[in-house]
Chain A
Amino acid sequence: MEINRTEHNGIVEINISGRLDAATSSDAESVITNVIEENNTKVLINLENLTYISSAGLRVLLVAAKEMKAKNGKIILCSLIDNVKSVFEISGFSIIFEICDTKEEALQKF
Chain B
Amino acid sequence: MKRIKKKATFENLEEVLQFVKVGAKAFGFDKAAIADLILAVEEVLVNIISYAYTDQCKSGYMEVRYKNNNSSYSITFLDTGKKFDPTAVSEPDTSIPINQRRMGGMGIHIVRNIVDNLQYKREGGKNIFTIEKKK
Q: Do A and B bind each other?
A: yes
Enumerate chain A interface residues (CB-CB to B < 8 A). Answer: 21-23, 52, 54-56, 58-59, 62, 65-66, 69-70, 83, 86-87, 90-93, 95-97
| Total inter-chain residue pairs, C-beta < 8 Å | 63
Complex interface residues of chain B between 19 and 46 (CB less than 8 A to chain A): 32, 35-36, 39, 42-43, 46
Interface of A is mostly: helix
| Number of residues on chain B facing chain A (CB within 8 A) | 25
List residues of chain B with CB within 8 A of the CB of A55. 43, 46, 103, 106-107, 110
User: Roughly how many angstroms separate A54 CA and B39 CA in the complex, as a whole number?
Assistant: 6
Interface: B113 (CB within 8 A): yes
User: Roughly how many angstroms separate A64 CA and B72 CA in the complex, as a whole number?
Assistant: 39
List residues of chain B with CB within 8 A of the CB of A59. 103, 106
User: Roughly how many angstroms separate A59 CA and B110 CA in the complex, as a whole number?
Assistant: 13
Contact B109–A62 (Cβ < 8 Å): no
